[in-house]
A and B are shown apart, each in its own frame.
Chain A
Amino acid sequence: EDQVTQSPEALRLQEGESSSLNCSYTVSGLRGLFWYRQDPGKGPEFLFTLYSAGEEKEKERLKATLTKKESFLHITAPKPEDSATYLCAVQGAGSEKLVFGKGTKLTVNP
């Protein structure tokens, strides 16, 4: 059974304090690993898709990396507007479904 574990559950940072969120996964044949951002009361917003170990993608202050067992979402010099819950999901080979982790709630204080 495909599984995703995200850590920490919650993270508080000061503005400008860089950090990383972790997503550990087990999947039978990785078809894709996805990162989403979700604001309270809204649907998830797509950030990145990673397909193979060693792949990296960047968008503004966010950088996602992937190994065979985990993915990291690095946040460089975060701003208060980066506060949100960040969700990680995997799609296994031959499956249409995404399996989500429980998310990391990030709070960036000014």
Chain B
Amino acid sequence: GAVVSQHPSWVICKSGTSVKIECRSLDFQATTMFWYRQFPKQSLMLMATSNEGSKATYEQGVEKDKFLINHASLTLSTLTVTSAHPEDSSFYICSARGLTSGSTTDTQYFGPGTRLTVL
């Protein structure tokens, strides 16, 4: 149980284009989903928190118009990087939090990540 998937696992795009990343909780309902960014050899940096049906809450310094988050259902959240530029190249990871089968805790389970390269 507690499986989170991300698609695509990697993407290469040209500067100025937009890229959408999907995050799905496969076997549980996620009350909250989170989007992180990770630079090489560094820890995870939280970008935003989203709850189903409501607007995402962005961390300080994260441009909400550039990183669009939609939490369409209790099992799906998407991150769209708009007008991507080379400095947006990074490893993007989502996590989902919710009660899973056999668990009484509210733990964040992470997806496998998406490697974005902007040329």
Interface positions of A (Cβ within 8 A of B):
32, 34, 36, 41-46, 49, 87, 96-98, 100-103
Contact of A97 with B110 in the complex, beta carbons under 8 Å: no
Contact of B109 with A46 in the complex, beta carbons under 8 Å: yes
Told that A42-B112, A44-B110, A96-B49 touch, could you supply 7 new A-B pairs with CB distance under 8 A? Answer: A32-B105, A41-B115, A43-B4, A43-B95, A44-B93, A87-B44, A97-B49
Q: Mark B94-119, 1 if CB is under 8 A from A, else 0.
A: 01010000000111111111010000
Interface assignment of B43: CB less than 8 Å from any CB of chain A: yes
Q: Mark B32-52, 1 if CB is under 8 A from A, else 0.
A: 101000000011101001000
Chain A residues positioned under 8 Å from B2 (CB to CB): 46
Interface size of B by CB at 8 A reads: 24
Residue from B2, B43, B95, B107 with most neighbouring chain A CB atoms (10 Å): B43
Closest beta carbon of chain A to B35's beta carbon, Å: 12
8 A-B Cβ contacts within 8 A? A41-B113, A41-B115, A42-B112, A42-B113, A46-B109, A46-B110, A97-B49, A98-B108
Residue among B32, B107, B109, B115 making CB contact with A96, cutoff 8 Å:
B32
Contact of A34 with B113 in the complex, beta carbons under 8 Å: no
Contact of B105 with A43 in the complex, beta carbons under 8 Å: no
List B residues 64-103 near A (Cβ within 8 Å). Answer: 91, 93, 95, 97
Interface residues of B: mostly helix, strand, loop or mixed?
Answer: strand
In the bound complex, what is the Cα–Cα distance between A44 and B110 (angstroms)? 6
Nearest opposing residue in chain B for A9, CB measure: B41
In the bound complex, what is the Cα–Cα distance between A58 and B108 (angstroms)? 19
Nearest opposing residue in chain A for B31, CB measure: A96
Chain B residues positioned under 8 Å from A32 (CB to CB): 105-107
Closest beta carbon of chain A to B20's beta carbon, Å: 18
In the bound complex, what is the Cα–Cα distance between A48 and B113 (angstroms)? 20
Contact of B113 with A100 in the complex, beta carbons under 8 Å: no
Nearest opposing residue in chain A for B4, CB measure: A43
